[in-house]
Amino acid sequence: MNVAEILDGKRVCVCCGSGGVGKTTTSAAVALGMAARGAKVAVVTIDPANRLANALGLEQLENEPRRVQPSRLATSDLKVDGELWAMMLDPKRTFDELIERIAPDPERAEEIKANRVYRELSTAVSGSQELTAIAKLYELDQEHEFDVLVLDTPPSRNALEFLDAPNRINSFLEGRALKAFMKPTGFGFRTLGRGAMPLLGGLRRITGIDLITDLTVFFGLLGDMTGDFSQRASQVEQLLRADTTAFVLVTSAARESVDEAIWFGQRLETDGLPFAGVIVNRVHHDLLGDREPHELSDALAKTLTPSLAGRVADNFRDYHVLAARDDHNLARLAADLDDQRLLLVPQLDDDIHDVEGLARIHRYLFASEAERQQLIDDLVA
């Protein structure tokens, strides 16, 4: 099993995982690999490291993918037959565009964009990135410009935010709760229904009145658009559930990341979302095998000064604490996410920050079973 097989027949690849596990790099390497295999691929990312963004020619937040020039890709020995496109998502602008698209006329769109509740909503770090990332994915999918779309989900501590935050904002925009308090008056605007008064009276006493006024104005402006939000939300949901979509979970082999990957994987399965595979980064492979540690000391003593040999052995011992930890966590991951194949990428020397580095990771992700074994053997021997 490799990424090419996982993504066979897929148009959308959603890379999920908690913060700090190398999600952006992995997404870029997946996209590069698919492009190398002849596809026209777009990778949508939120917040890549500067050096990686520079390597891909991404200079600013943008709203449309931009082609990564073939000359940039030529820096590695990977031959790219297809096209790699990339974009750094601008959540605020994407949100504004969404409003412009749905609003009945430009004046209404401007009024909404100027509304204080909207400004808070569209710039709130929590939620707006997730919502706009999915909205962008949906839009690109509708345009049919690309063979494959790879989404690097926003950096949050908790991978579940990606699934939950858009729902939270959507249910706010749909105004489900507020709707119950309101009744239509026939002018496209809504006023408060009588049944809501005692409850809203209480709300005012506790919160201060202006918040309620702002919200009422906001929902008045949204008017019938709330229906469009519901409709879009269900279309996006369909896209995420489609059998041409693949959720790929990215994790490291450390305990907390693995715990979170297990929760998230189980959640994908419970929700019936197309869970396609797990990529585990920064794995410390066992280098000792069935050999005894003293064999190492003997071998090192023959070739190094005692001081240096001692430190090399210390380093090796510490490395093996992590190898044992990873081994244990990978076993747990495999057991708790049954049938999910794990694609392992070893701990590399350095942060990946250029196309050459991506090509290096790509080798592990797209290797056949035999090639992968060879790569690991090379590492060990």
**Which residues, numbered 188-247, are part of the site for other proteins (CB under 8 A)?**
199, 202-211, 214-215
Q: Examine residue 121 and tell whether it contacts other proteins (CB under 8 A).
A: yes
Q: How far is the CB of 36 from other proteins (least distance, A)?
A: 25
Question: Of 117-125, 223-231, 273-281, 335-343, which part binds other proteins (CB under 8 A)?
Answer: 117-125
Q: How far apart are CA 99 and CA 108, in angstroms?
A: 9
Q: Where are the alpha helices (DSSP H) in the chain?
A: 3-6, 23-36, 50-55, 70-73, 91-102, 106-114, 116-123, 125-143, 161-173, 176-179, 197-207, 209-222, 225-241, 255-270, 293-301, 306-336, 355-366, 369-380
Q: How far is the CB of 316 from other proteins (least distance, A)?
A: 4
Within positions 48 to 87, which residues make up the interface with other proteins, using CB under 8 A? 49-51
Specify whether the CB–CB gap between 279 and 311 falls below 8 A: no
Q: How far is the CB of 341 from other proteins (least distance, A)?
A: 24
Q: How far is the CB of 221 from other proteins (least distance, A)?
A: 15
Q: How far is the CB of 355 from other proteins (least distance, A)?
A: 16
Number of residues that bind other proteins (CB under 8 A): 80
User: Measured from the CB atom, is 116 or 241 closer to other proteins?
Assistant: 116
Structure tokens at 43: 């990778």
Handedness of CA 269, 271, 276, 278 (dihedral sign): negative
Q: How far apart are CA 33 and CA 26, in angstroms?
A: 10
Q: Among candidates 61, 58, 52, 63, which has minimal Cα distance to 23?
A: 52
Q: How far apart are CA 331 and CA 107, in angstroms?
A: 58
Q: How far is the CB of 76 from other proteins (least distance, A)?
A: 19
Q: Examine residue 172 and tell whether it contacts other proteins (CB under 8 A).
A: yes
Q: How far is the CB of 137 from other proteins (least distance, A)?
A: 21
Q: How far is the CB of 57 from other proteins (least distance, A)?
A: 18
Within positions 3 to 42, which residues make up the interface with other proteins, using CB under 8 A? 18-21
Question: Of 6-14, 62-70, 240-248, 253-261, which part binds other proteins (CB under 8 A)?
Answer: 253-261
Beta-bridged to residue 62, according to DSSP, are: 89
Rounded to 5 degrees, φ, ψ at 192 are: -75, 130
Q: How far is the CB of 329 from other proteins (least distance, A)?
A: 9
Q: Examine residue 120 and tell whether it contacts other proteins (CB under 8 A).
A: yes
Q: Examine residue 350 and tell whether it contacts other proteins (CB under 8 A).
A: yes
Q: Examine residue 158 and tell whether it contacts other proteins (CB under 8 A).
A: yes
Q: Examine residue 318 and tell whether it contacts other proteins (CB under 8 A).
A: yes
User: Measured from the CB atom, is 12 or 16 closer to other proteins?
Assistant: 16
Of the candidate residues 266, 299, 356, 371, the single one contacting other proteins (CB under 8 A): 299
Burial class (CB in 10 A: 0-12, 13-18, 19+), 198: exposed
- DSSP code, position 42: E
Question: Of 119-127, 235-243, 266-274, 333-341, which part binds other proteins (CB under 8 A)?
Answer: 119-127
Within positions 268 to 297, which residues make up the interface with other proteins, using CB under 8 A? 287-288, 291, 295-296
* 330 Cβ contact partners less than 8 Å away, ≥ 6 residues apart: 253, 258, 280, 283, 342, 344
Q: Examine residue 315 and tell whether it contacts other proteins (CB under 8 A).
A: yes
Beta-bridged to residue 150, according to DSSP, are: 13, 43
Q: How far apart are CA 261 and CA 248, in angstroms?
A: 11
Q: Examine residue 380 and tell whether it contacts other proteins (CB under 8 A).
A: yes
Q: Examine residue 142 and tell whether it contacts other proteins (CB under 8 A).
A: no
User: Measured from the CB atom, is 197 or 379 closer to other proteins?
Assistant: 379
